[in-house]
């Protein structure tokens, strides 16, 4: 579950980003849309306790994030958040297997090689375990990133522009994989994107409409009908 109230965040002395209040039930999907620069990545960073709001409160997976600081925030994040970043950061010298095992280290747990193999297998890429990051195609890297995001059975999966560099078929595939992975782990899923294909892909692979949060000016064609929350930044 995600609950935010009166959230504001400013970089340095800049204008604060003001975010609408959001309530998302555990296991549900939230589509976070808005143009580039509207604050999507910042909102994800707040949810992952990577940055602290100057104002407002947030509860994520039962944890009041304003009560977390420093190392306890790191430990909480490692166990509860599966982050699918815009760019996959893997250590170039390590195999996929060893890169994924690092997630256990970050959570203060012994590496579970079998769990890594299991998750790669579930995503249909078991054969990539021994490869180096430089030996992965774009689609393969996407699956490895998703494997890493779900490895610790997080309560919340945050995906930042997961379709950015993908063609139509791969974009549809990536969204479907995300939804499936979240369902499998009863995780809440947030997809931040300015790619209209994501909404279409969600509609085709989910029985219910996702929750919507739109940041920035309303999209022109839907301005009068959109039910999504909006924020001016
Ligand atoms: P989005 O993900 O929707 O493109 P961001 O959350 O990345 O938006 O950015 C929101 C606003 O905050 C933008 O105006 C951006 O320039 C600014 N911003 C983002 N990161 C930083 C940073 N590290 N320092 C200063 N300003 C930043
Ligand atoms: Mg962004």
CA of 20 from ligand 1 middle (Å) equals 17
Whether pLDDT at 147 is above 70 = yes
pLDDT on residue 221: 55
- Digit-coded pLDDT (tens) for 186-213: 999 999 999 999 999 999 999 999 999 9
Average pLDDT of every residue of the chain = 89
Residue 149 backbone dihedrals phi, psi, to 5 degrees: -65, -35
Percent of the chain past pLDDT 90, that is, above it, reads 67
Higher pLDDT, 219 or 35: 35
- Ligand that comes closest to the CA of residue 160: 2
Lowest mean pLDDT among 13-17, 52-56, 115-119, 229-233: 229-233
pTM: 0.89
If phi > 0 it is left, if psi is from -120 to 50 it is alpha, else beta; for residue 103 that is: alpha
For the chain, give the number of residues.
233
Which CATH superfamily does the domain covering 2-90+153-222 fall into? Answer: P-loop containing nucleotide triphosphate hydrolases (3.40.50.300)
| Helix, strand, coil fractions of the chain, as percent rounded to 5 | 40, 20, 40
Among the atoms of ligand 1, which is closest to the Cα of residue 35? 3
- Digit-coded pLDDT (tens) for 119-144: 999 888 999 999 999 999 888 888 89
Residue nearest ligand 1's atom 22 by CA: 11
pLDDT on residue 106: 83
CA nearest neighbour of 185 among 148, 152, 143, 141: 152
Which residue of 42, 44, 53, 85 sits with most ligand 1 atoms within 8 Å of its CB, as the best mutation to test the pocket?
42
Check if 38 has its Cβ closer than 6 Å to any atom of ligand 1.
Answer: yes
Q: What confidence category does residue 70 fall into, taking pLDDT thresholds of 50, 70 and 90? A: confident
- In order of 68, 123, 153, the CA distances from 77 in angstroms are 10, 23, 12
Which residue of 17, 37, 193, 214 sits with most ligand 1 atoms within 8 Å of its CB, as the best mutation to test the pocket?
37
Following DSSP, what letter does each residue of 115-153 receive, concatenated? HHHHHHHHTT-GGGTT--GGG--HHHHHHHHHHHHHTT-
Whether pLDDT at 223 is above 50 = no
Whether pLDDT at 54 is above 80 = yes
């Amino acid at each position: 579950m995600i609950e935010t109230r009166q959230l504001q965040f400013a970089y340095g002395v800049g204008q604060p980003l003001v975010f609408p209040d959001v309530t998302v039930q555990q296991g549900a999907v939230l589509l976070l849309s808005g143009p580039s620069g509207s604050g999507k990545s910042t909102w994800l960073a707040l949810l992952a306790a990577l940055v602290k709001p100057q104002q407002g409160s947030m509860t994520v997976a039962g944890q009041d994030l304003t009560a977390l600081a420093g190392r306890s925030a790191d430990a909480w994040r490692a166990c509860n958040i599966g982050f699918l970043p815009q760019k996959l950061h893997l250590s170039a010298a390590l195999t996929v297997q060893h890169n994924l095992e690092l997630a256990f280290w970050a959570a203060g747990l012994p590496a579970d090689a079998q769990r890594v193999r299991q998750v790669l297998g579930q995503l249909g890429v078991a054969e990539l375990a021994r490869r180096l990051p430089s030996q992965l195609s774009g689609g393969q890297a996407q699956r490895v990133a998703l494997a890493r995001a779900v490895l610790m059975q997080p309560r919340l999966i945050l995906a930042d522009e997961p379709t950015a560099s993908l063609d139509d078929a791969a974009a549809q595939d990536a969204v479907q994989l995300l939804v499936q992975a979240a369902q499998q782990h009863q995780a809440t899923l947030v997809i931040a994107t300015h790619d209209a294909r994501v909404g279409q892909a969600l509609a085709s692979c989910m029985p219910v409409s996702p929750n919507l949060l739109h940041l920035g000016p309303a999209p022109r064609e839907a301005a009068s009908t959109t039910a999504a929350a909006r924020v001016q930044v």
